[in-house]
Amino acid sequence: MTPEEFCRQVETGNVPPVVLVIGVEQYLQNKVLQTVRSNVLKDAVPGLNEDNFVATETAIDTIITAVRTLPMLARRRFVTIRQIERWESAAKGAADAADRIAQYASNPVASCVLVLSGTKIDGRKRLATIAKKGNWWVSCDPISRSGVSSFVTARISERGIRVAPGAAELIAEVVGTDLAALVDAIERLCLYVGIGGQIDEDTVGICLVRIKTSTVWELVGAIGQRDLGRALAALDSVYDPRDRGLPIVGTLAWSARQLLRFESSIRAGMSPPKAAQAAGAPPFRANELADQCKKTSRADLERWLEVIAQVDLALKGASRRPPKAVLEHAIMSLCKSQRAPGGSARYPA
């Protein structure tokens, strides 16, 4: 079951007595735990009906006793056991704890909700088998790269705020796939525009990237015209040593992909405004995109993405050079038209 499906189920009051939350995406795990906790303890006296344990740090007998303890001035108790993957790598006595919990889960008490959470579990174990059969296994796997834009759009729309074409993709490109970081970025953007407002590329530039969209396209245009001096000047005006230039890389990747989609749509026979929409841009930017495509060939745009990918790795630790030097070398490479033998971009990270 997905976290979204499970949370909707919990909000209707349907909370199973045992819940298994497995996956590496901590944001989703926390969301599931908080949703269950709020539902179970909404009418309870705070602190009297809740216990939190970490696997292997507390004797299993103590945990079972806590689970079977009757609630005080409430209908149910709430008990969590975190990091249950520890049981699989622990000594035999601690590993048997998983079997004891599985035995309890086969006949749980109705006066307690037990939530088990961890990054992984052996699917062949009895606990995993019971959880799947009972439909109380919640998978908190990382969101796919293709699903990040939809996640961003949905979270923003929930707040009564509109998202301009291309803005969600730009947010995903700049922030990445970490959901906690994305939610933090969404919070800042929504607070900036307010309810009923709209988040567009300029808003992202102001709140997240500290780069104006016009400056980005100036940089893209300078690269497309092979104007190294102007491109380096544009880079210098937006580079911030605090973020090592990673937002610049994300924004360049976003702009290159947008131009590629626009060019492909034009090739397919679409009108410029329709092609702009297909590329994730508002129709009024069609002339700007068309002008950029005239200055930059498809082969060069594809090469840009190769170079940008290598720069991203270099800035994240693959290179010992100063971040700005990495970016300046990338700009010089992008301003060249030749390709290395075999068709790959020449960029020594």
Q: What is the pLDDT of residues 250-272, one digit of tens each?
A: 888 888 888 888 889 988 999 98
The two three-digit tokens of residue 343, written as one number: 């068709």
Which CATH topology does 213-334 take? Zinc Finger, Delta Prime; domain 3 (1.20.272)
CA distance 252 to 220: 7
pLDDT over 70 percentage in the chain: 92
pLDDT (tens digit, 9 = 90+) per residue, 13-39? 899 999 999 999 999 999 999 999 999
CATH 3.40.50.300 in the chain, residue ranges: 3-139
- The pLDDT, as a whole number, for residue 211 is 60
Q: What is the pTM of this model?
A: 0.66
In what order do the strands lie in the sheet containing 50-54?
A: 50-54, 77-82, 112-118, 18-22, 137-139
- Among 315, 335, 336, 312, residue whose Cα is nearest residue 324: 315
Q: Is the pLDDT of residue 318 over 70?
A: yes
- Is the model more confident about 144 or about 114? 114
Q: Within the chain, which residue ranges are assigned CATH 1.10.8.60? A: 145-209
pLDDT (0 to 100) of residue 346? 44
Residue 335's pLDDT is: 82
- Mean pLDDT (whole number) for 197-204: 86
Confidence band, pLDDT 50/70/90 cuts, at residue 116: very high
Q: Is the pLDDT of residue 236 over 60?
A: yes
Please give the pLDDT value at position 343: 43
DSSP per-residue letters across 221-289? HHHHTT-HHHHHHHHHHH--TTTTTHHHHHHHHHHHHHHHHHHHHHHTT--HHHHHHHTTS-GGGHHHH
Residue 163 has pLDDT above 50, yes or no: yes
pLDDT greater than 90 at residue 139: yes
pLDDT at residue 347 tops 60 = no
- Given a cut of 50, is residue 344 above it in pLDDT? no
Question: In terms of residues, how long is the chain?
Answer: 349
Q: Is the pLDDT of residue 348 over 50?
A: no
Question: How confident is the model over 92-104, as a mean pLDDT?
Answer: 79
- CA dist 9 to 275, 276, 299, Å? 41, 40, 50
Contact (Cβ atoms closer than 8 angstroms) between residue 247 and residue 174: yes
Which regions of the chain carry the CATH code 1.20.272.10? 213-334
Over range 216-220, report the average pLDDT: 74
Please tell me the predicted confidence (pLDDT) of residue 339: 43
Q: Is the pLDDT of residue 144 over 60?
A: yes
The per-residue pLDDT for 340 is 42
Q: Which CATH architecture has domain 3-139?
A: 3-Layer(aba) Sandwich (3.40)
pLDDT of residue 115: 95
pLDDT digits (tens, 9 = 90+) for 65-86: 999 999 988 899 999 999 998 8
Q: What is the pLDDT of residue 341?
A: 42
> CATH assignment of 145-209?
1.10.8.60
pLDDT digits (tens, 9 = 90+) for 42-64: 888 778 899 999 988 888 999 99
For residues 272-290, average pLDDT: 84
Per-residue confidence (pLDDT) for residue 109, from 0 to 100: 93
Which residue do the tokens 């994300």 mark? 250
- Residue 11 confidence (pLDDT) above 50: yes
Largest interatomic CA distance in the chain: 75
> For residue 342, what pLDDT band results from cuts at 50, 70 and 90?
very low
pLDDT of 191 > 60? The answer is yes
pLDDT of residue 337: 54
